[in-house]
Amino acid sequence: MAEIIAANDYLVTNLPDLAQEDAAQLKQYAGHIALDEAAESNLFFWFVTNKRTQKSPKLIIWLNGGPGCSSADGYFLGSGPLRFVNKKLTVNKGGWHEFANVVFLDQPVGTGLSYTSNQLLGNLGDITTHFLAFLKNFFAVFPEHAHDEVGESYAGTYIPYFAKGIFDHNDDLPIGHTAYNLQGLAIGNGWIDPLRQYTSFIPYVEHHGLSTPKLLTEMVAQQDICLDAIRTQDLITQESCESLVGLILRHSFQSNAMGQCTNQYDIRLTDSYPACGLLWPNELPEMKTYLTRPDVINALHANGAELPWSECSGRVNSVLRFDNSVPAVTFLPDILKRTKVLLFSGDKDLICNHIGTEYLISNMTWQGARGFEDTPKIGWTVENQLAGVWREARNLTYVLLYNASHMVPYDAPLAALDMMNRFMGLDPTLQYFASKLDTDVNSGQIPPGGEKVDIDQPKGSLFIKYGSVP
């Protein structure tokens, strides 16, 4: 077993550039947890304790996707306690640590400030083993949180694998040993079901006015090639299918008078070609500068990391592109027998768009039924504006957020916080802002740029106009 360091050794006592009055509101721990006795593989974590304690303590483990992208994205650009506003480090009023303890984890090794002296991991089985080793050693350092209700959030491919690993671990425990108290999964704009996600691009660009006859002709031809590859082997990533997004972005660039292309993470925005969103959000330069400063690295007890920090690791991404692991959707029906799952999507995201998630749900059978059937859509307002719609059935909740991008907490921090608090079973009236789940989906004022989207998808309608289920 790896050497266990005392919790106080991880305490973050002086985070650079954070005002003293803001620092007083936070209790944070950060550093590396070794996964093996020789400390050859180490995961970096940033742990923020809750501001308000609940009767049943909650622990959220935030994982960014990529693969290979640092959870500093979540910390500074999403659900974390701090943000860069006008290049200044400030408190995020939509931070999820209001009622929950939150761990932002850089994984797999080679991501962010995590490191290894061994080879990078090339499959999700080994990555899951590392995650379970992290949990074991994290709770050894923080035993007071070992019985917290645990939830995993955000990354669509990792989370179902990790949930399955946790349940398998619990099932194999000898009598008298403490099981991990996994109470829910929340996946935002997740890459869970590649088949449905790849076949969502054509209807998405049509619905959002991004298509032309020329683009559709090219996409239909490329989708046929994509489907042939999927019929041969259903993988998490298919190179021929990835070309579908490339067609959309190149077409947007060629038809834009300013020489810009559509931002693949937020279709309301444009970007230089071929980045097309890879340099977004605009706070990325401040975040990168901050996390490469020696005084910040020292404050986070991360001196052992392979520096300098980068937002996403090309090495990790390239290694996992050859992963033959089955798509994460494979495990969802069994997971839904054992715990609740929240799938949420921002309607302005192209790359992992909401139509793909809706196809997934409509074509998945769980707990004896397929899809949502006749489950009603529920309108949801935050601060008297229509934030989106909810549907719930048999342990599965789906939330479509209006006027939100791939990074929902970045665009809609209060809506994202309210969504998570409701999902965790917390009383929304304790929040400092107003929210309501209505029975009338048409209630509330739609925010500027938002829209009402019909999320009903007929069962089996993977390819509405352009093919059939392979």
Q: Report whether 28 contacts 142 (CB < 8 A).
A: no
Tokens representing 18?
Answer: 């954070």
Tell me which residue of 124, 461, 155 sits closest to 321, measured CA to CA.
124
Q: Report whether 194 contacts 238 (CB < 8 A).
A: yes
Residue 153 a catalytic site member: yes
CA distance 393 to 376: 10
Q: Report whether 357 contacts 299 (CB < 8 A).
A: no
Tell me which residue of 131, 113, 134 sits closest to 68, measured CA to CA.
113
Tell me which residue of 329, 312, 315 sits closest to 121, measured CA to CA.
315
Residue 406 a catalytic site member: yes
**Block residue for tokens 């969504």:** 419
Residue 349 a catalytic site member: yes
CA distance 245 to 406: 15
CA distance 455 to 26: 39
For the chain, give the number of residues. 470
CA distance 436 to 419: 11
Radius of gyration of the chain (CA): 22
CA distance 458 to 363: 9
CA distance 312 to 248: 23
Tokens representing 97?
Answer: 């640590």
CA distance 271 to 13: 39
Catalytic residue among 323, 349, 411, 418: 349
Q: What is the 3-state secondary structure (H, E, C) of 407-418?
A: CHHHHCHHHHHH
Catalytic residue among 41, 70, 114, 153: 153
CA dihedral for 153, 157, 160, 162, sign (positive or negative): negative
Q: Report whether 151 contacts 61 (CB < 8 A).
A: yes
Q: Is 196 helix (H, G, I), strand (E, B) or coil?
A: helix
Q: Which long-range contacts (CB under 8 A, 24 or more apart) does 243-246 make?
A: 244/198, 244/201, 244/202, 244/219, 245/201, 245/350, 245/351
DSSP state of 13: -
Judged on CB neighbours under 10 Å (0-12, 13-18, 19+), 149 is middle
CA distance 314 to 417: 31
Catalytic residue among 32, 251, 354, 406: 406
Point out the residues that are catalytic. Answer: 153, 349, 406
